[in-house]
Amino acid sequence: MIAVDDGSKDDTWDHLCALAQQFPGRMLALRHPKNAGKRAALVTAILRADSEVVITVDSDSILDRNAIRHLVAPIQKDPRVASVSGQVFVLNEQANILTRMQAANFAMAYAYQRAAQSCFGSVLCCPGVLTGYRRSALLGVLTGWSEQTFLGAPCMIGEDRALTTWLLAADWRSVYQSTAVAYTMMPTSFKGTCRMLIRWERGNIREALRLIGLMSGRWNIAERWWACIEVILDLAYWPAAFTALASVARLENIPGLFAATGLVTLLLSLNCLRTKKSLDLLYYVAYSFFNMFALGWLFPFSLLTVRDGRWLTR
């Protein structure tokens, strides 16, 4: 295990040193003299690793006992696979209505969206919570990814989505492994949720625009047509949503809008009940309305501030 202290100002380094002494030969503690960002910390760890498979986790990730065993299987099986996304659940799901909705949204994002993308070897974001990488593939894109800029500004956020994009651009495959399970914490306040989603949305917009550019070049669209459709739909979703909201503002066909939104999300939720095995997944229906009416401003705000690389939730 390699732990990188990215220039912390608290007692993190003392704890890492204590753990390294407690587990000699099993844990390596490294330290940056000043904060350089998550990408720099990951680069430091990847370069010091000596195994062909590298597993990355977030600071608040909690893994199932067999998560790593399941995560490395696709890399061992298919030499074209460079990254494997685990299955992520919300640890504090029961905290309040916000975390319940986020948990349902996560369930849909993995059991439905990433599972579909995986069929085409093109999962668009292998998450920081739990992802396995082929180190030899990482070394081929590490410099470009770590020095990535967008509109002249260094890319400091969305490192997981960006790294997946770099690997896909190099014609590697990214897949999803549902049996590699991890848990993460979600914000419990509306403000915290918005700040997290703004960071994610800025990274998603940046990488979607980059993938649009790849589609017009040498990217294998014939094999990855599903991912191409998803990228286009992601960028088109919010203009369509704004059109629907404008209809609401003019008091036009409100029952039809609500009925269509509720029916589509309900059907999607029922399709994924086998994953959660709980009717709590119906919170996804609530999240869809919450997303439309309470979070509709996030996309234009993130688009206008896409160069902003602040983490926001530290």
Q: What is the pLDDT of residue 244?
A: 60
What are the structure tokens assigned to 104, written together? 């349902």
pLDDT for the residue 238: 67
Whose CA is closest to 159, among 41, 299, 38, 309? 38
Predicted local confidence at residue 275, as pLDDT: 62
pLDDT at 152: 92
249 with 293, same domain? Answer: yes
Shared-domain flag, residues 105 and 130: yes
User: How many domains is the chain partitioned into structurally?
Assistant: 2
Cα separation, 117 vs 229, whole angstroms: 10
Instruction: Tell me the average confidence (pLDDT) per consecutive run of 10 residues in the chain, 314 residues long.
Output: 93 94 93 93 95 93 96 96 96 95 90 90 95 97 96 94 94 95 96 95 92 73 80 77 61 66 73 67 84 84 90 79
Q: Tell whether 25 and 128 lie within a shared domain.
A: no
Q: Are residues 176 and 236 in the same domain?
A: yes
Determine, yes or no, domain membership for 312.
no
What is the predicted pLDDT for the residue at 49? Answer: 95
* Residue 31 sits in the same domain as residue 55: no
Measuring CA to CA, which residue among 220, 132, 203 is closest to residue 169? 220
> 63 and 2 in one domain?
no
| pLDDT reported for residue 219 | 66
| Same domain, yes or no: 132 and 194 | yes
Residues 91 and 22 in one domain: no
- Do 27 and 115 lie in one domain? The reply is no
Backbone phi, psi, residue 180, to 5°: -95, 95
List all residues 6 or more positions away from 230 whose beta carbon is below 8 Å from its beta carbon: 113, 117, 124
Instruction: Give the pLDDT confidence score for residue 192 in this predicted structure.
Output: 95
119 shares its domain with 200? yes
Task: Give me the CATH number covering residue 67.
Answer: 3.90.550
310 in a structural domain: no
Q: How far is CA 271 from its chain centroid?
A: 22
Question: Which amino acid is present at 303?
Answer: L
Does residue 240 share a domain with residue 94?
yes
pLDDT of residue 225: 83
Residue 168 · residue 59 · CB < 8 Å: no
Q: Residue written as tokens 């100002």?
A: 9
Q: How far apart are CA 166 and CA 159, in angstroms?
A: 10
CB 132 within 8 A of CB 53: yes
Domain range for 25 is: 1-36
pTM here? Answer: 0.89
21, 123: one domain: no
268 within a domain of the structure (yes/no): yes
Instruction: Write down the pLDDT at residue 257.
Output: 65
